[in-house]
Amino acid sequence: MDHDHGEGVNELFQVQCHLYKHIFGFIDSMSIKCAVQLGIPDIIHNHGQPITFPELVSKLHIHPKKTCCLHRLMRLLVHSGFFTKTKIHENQEKEEEAYTLTLLSRFILKDKVTNLSPFILALLDPVLVSPWQFLGDWFQGSELTPFEKAHGMGFWDFCDQSPEFNTIFNEAMASDSKQMSLVVKDYSPIFEGLGSLVDVGGGTGIVARIISEAFPHTKYTVFDLPHVVANLPDNENLKYVGGDMFQYIPPADAVLIKCILHDWSDEECVNILKICKEAITSKGKEGKVIIIDMVINQEKDEHDVTTSKLHFDALMMVFVTGKERDKKEWEKLFLEAGFSHYKIVSSFGMKSLIEVYP
């Protein structure tokens, strides 16, 4: 009898431990942010070989009294898979521990295409962390988003009024856009042979430039709000046009809309898509809309991929009026906007590429 009771208690404590893991998930986030702020991944990378703890301390210029705290931070980051520890022989007698990078920390190296440090610094900025404290109150209140409950205004207005945060946020989006260069070569069937393409909400043109270097024979237009594209220099096959995608989109053979629709509600997406449809059919042509965004697919995706997609969905709920959508939800938008068919062409990472036809 006691034996069973003991097992039950053990199980309870295991569950409790699991609960703590979820409660304290933010500690992992903040530790990673701290490592990025201190530049630890770059210090290890630039060292060119495993770095010992004293060497790391000497390069970090931290207060001497905080040395043991740094050791504790590193212990946590090693445990969560950000760094690994290895043993090296400094001399005959003495074996020392040294740190090396893992695949995870290679994603936050400053000089790499895959550098997501700006993303970490933006998403874990107090501006974007504080709205999560208001989630419960928001469900019972009337504000449009928890962000608005926290800051007294919507996300886009806040960006307009805070140039400093706007810069941080735009750098985060740019770091995500640069990942496009890893897959653009696989997309020749999609981009090859287009006369013209307009990148809607294309920001400073990172994605359009990556595509234009791979497929130089197309004319590219980057379309975004006037203040975003002001003073950006055109070149022979890429020009910048300011405007409002809810009013008008310049005509082209193809409209590219990357990571934009998930920011908006269904109703707003249908409006944007209708205007996309006008843009690709305006010259009597039958063009296509190319959407790069997430498709939630819980049956097919690995558990971790779904976790990340659902986290992004929660972000959209907390910051803006958008959401991440599954295949049925995307289809509903396309049909409501008057398109006849679509195909999900490929998926890379958490994003999918969808072609939509009038």
303 is catalytic: no
Active-site entry in 262, 303, 311, 341: 262
- Lookup result for tokens 């300011």: 242
| Among candidate residues 242, 294, 243, 248, the one with its CA nearest the CA of residue 272 | 248
Which residue type does 7 have? E
Distances (CA, A) of 250 to 140, 198, 299: 42, 7, 38
Q: How many helices (H) and strands (E) does the chain have?
A: 18, 11
Bridge partners of residue 222, in order along the sequence? 199, 240
User: What is the C-alpha to C-alpha distance for residues 32 and 41, in angstroms, rounded to an integer?
Assistant: 10
Can you say how many angstroms the Cα of residue 260 is from the centroid of all Cα atoms in its chain? 12
- Tally the C-alpha atoms within 13 A of residue 199's C-alpha that lie toward its C-beta: 25
Structure tokens at 40: 């630890």
Among 160, 99, 153, smallest CA distance to 131 is for: 153
3-state secondary structure of 240: strand
Catalytic residues: 262
